[in-house]
Structure 1
């Protein structure tokens, strides 16, 4: 258990390379609240996307810092209850969920069930419910103590991958976009999406990546073809296609829209190329379809309405099992978790992930 004074990792909202630890006061609980010590969490390019789209998608609002211009990036991981003033949530229980980059968090459990609870804090009421749910590990069907790190790294990303694939299929691939162009193809959300798409007949899934990650992407076997960004022109300009944009690069977006006259849809997902973000400009006057930001909670809501919550959960769980079996069973494995302890280590890993550096097979787990 963490015995040092609590602290939160802050980043400048308009200059993500500027980051620091901020000591936080130990706030006394009021009735209905619980204190959770954060044991571990994953740090991936997905978290960089949360920061890059923090204002547009309200990610900064989950864990407000109280400091003008500074935000706390949300992460997925595990925490243990160290103090409870809430009936039905006991000290010592472990929960999987959405946490701040820091050492602890105070939550206000609502709708407490054997499965877990939702954070009922006032500032989170208008935020997407999918991010407010905390799963009790003792009853969570996804939980396996032996694979905690893989769950932190891949579970939230794969849910997004599952939903992107489902959204595109639900829209009949926008009238014939049978070639899917996935940027940042080495990222976990991208190759999770490729894994799902590759199971559908008649689709060509093309991974776009930096030259240094080409061999890795080819080794996964879920891409029909892997191209370096500089090889984009090797695809025929009249290819009916859909662009699934994980990179968020304005120059790449411009090239794709300018080259492919039969671009059927631009599904904007993330911002792994922070220095080239299309969100900061570069989306105006594009030929072809307007880029549309994908919002996973909207597709969850639709499918729960279509299928029912139980059927949705079964489909997702089966897809997750198939995916993690492939990820961990491949030789070499697609992903090897690497643990880093301490605040200095977290700061170093954050800068590495922000810069898009490192081995794509490595998954970073932080122990604050």
Structure 2
């Protein structure tokens, strides 16, 4: 048997290729998982864009210099097991390579799941190393796995970002500005913030996506990027940047002299990414979701954290129902084409892409 993996050029994200390797015999304690399907979203492009800074390339390293594997979220089935406590046929939700299969080293097994104990993943955030058994996963619902793959990792970031901003009393502001407002992580964040009284949410997006953003019902106002000058500038506000567009970020910092906080979350505008540089106002700060997980689990306890997360997930799924059309891509060549489109920004915010490498 063999495994096919999609490799991405680290310094030119739209450049990708397929590599096939022969499967090796499992060592004691290892399992081989067939990756059934995974979602491909702008969030995965963000993983690649911040791959070096945030160590996303380190989860599934490859030997070929300059190339890497972009992590994705989805479902897999255990097809071989040398690990007591993990049975062949078990279905899992978790963090996978863009590949047809992967070998894991389960550790810290519980009835709900296990962690991958691979040496390269030991120093990486634990939230990415956990694999959930579908039959014990409180987030799992039969018949909605594709939607889970698309929204669940984005929900987690959005839910935690909402909590982070509220935890800091919105840095003394009551207006929240969003770039890439049509991205699923942005409108997931906006959905949760919308439940909090006294906030005004302003979304910036490309002109063709304004109607979609308006249809979401999350933003008080949606403007095309070129219309930024129409936004009232003299008010305390927070900028939440999902695009990573250095030029637009600089424009925001200049237009809003009372900007209280600038949060860097994503990199949907791959061709315009850039550092903070010399900007007026607060220095952009990268939002790191695992740190908020750690803080809240300490504050609330793991059980209460999980309970609140499930409640937030169920509310968001209800809101998203009917707003996303799922599009399937079967086979490694189709996966390669889907990545090329995503990395080049050729996406429809109303579409969720589900990929199977087999």
Q: Which of 137, 141, 152 does residue 140 from structure 1 map onto? A: 137
Q: Secondary structure at the match of 2:34?
A: strand
RMSD: 0.8
Structure 2 unaligned blocks of 5 or more: none
Q: TM-score, normalised by structure 2?
A: 0.98
The answer for the alignment partner of 2:354 in structure 1 is: 365
1:96-135 to 2 correspondence within 5 Å? 96-135=93-132
Tell me, yes or no, if structure 1 residue 186 matches structure 2 residue 175: no
1:145, distance to aligned residue in structure 2 (A): 2.1
Report if aligned partners of 2:3, 2:23 keep a CA contact under 8 Å in 1.
Answer: yes
Tell me, yes or no, if structure 1 residue 290 matches structure 2 residue 280: no
Cα deviation, 1:75-119, whole Å, max 9, x if unaligned, reads: 000010000000000000000000000100000000011101000
Q: Secondary structure at the match of 1:78?
A: strand
The answer for the alignment partner of 2:9 in structure 1 is: 12
Partners of 2:311 and 2:117 in 1: CA distance: 30
The answer for the alignment partner of 1:249 in structure 2 is: 245
Q: Which of 184, 193, 214 does residue 218 from structure 1 map onto? A: 214
Report if aligned partners of 2:4, 2:332 keep a CA contact under 8 Å in 1.
Answer: no
1:358, distance to aligned residue in structure 2 (A): 2.9
Q: Secondary structure at the match of 2:92?
A: strand
Structure 1 runs of 4+ off > 4 angstroms?
none
Structure 1 unaligned blocks of 5 or more: none
1:221, distance to aligned residue in structure 2 (A): 0.4
Partners of 2:347 and 2:154 in 1: CA distance: 19
Partners of 1:205 and 1:297 in 2: CA distance: 25
Partners of 2:106 and 2:180 in 1: CA distance: 37
Partners of 1:43 and 1:301 in 2: CA distance: 26
1:163-202 to 2 correspondence within 5 Å? 163-175=160-172, 177-202=173-198
The answer for the alignment partner of 1:306 in structure 2 is: 299
1:11-30 to 2 correspondence within 5 Å? 11-30=8-27
Q: Secondary structure at the match of 1:359?
A: coil
Q: TM-score, normalised by structure 1?
A: 0.96
Q: Secondary structure at the match of 1:338?
A: strand
Q: Secondary structure at the match of 1:106?
A: strand
Kindly tell me the number of residue pairs found equivalent between the two proteins: 357
1:25, distance to aligned residue in structure 2 (A): 2.3
Cα deviation, 1:286-313, whole Å, max 9, x if unaligned, reads: 0000000000000000000001111111
Tell me, yes or no, if structure 1 residue 205 matches structure 2 residue 201: yes
Q: Secondary structure at the match of 1:300?
A: helix
Tell me, yes or no, if structure 1 residue 323 matches structure 2 residue 312: no
1:237, distance to aligned residue in structure 2 (A): 1.8
Partners of 2:22 and 2:55 in 1: CA distance: 25
The answer for the alignment partner of 2:50 in structure 1 is: 53
1:192, distance to aligned residue in structure 2 (A): 0.2
1:319, distance to aligned residue in structure 2 (A): 0.8
Cα deviation, 1:239-269, whole Å, max 9, x if unaligned, reads: 2110000000000000001111000000100
The answer for the alignment partner of 2:337 in structure 1 is: 348
Cα deviation, 1:314-364, whole Å, max 9, x if unaligned, reads: 111001101101111xxxx21111111011111111111112223211100
Partners of 1:5 and 1:34 in 2: CA distance: 15
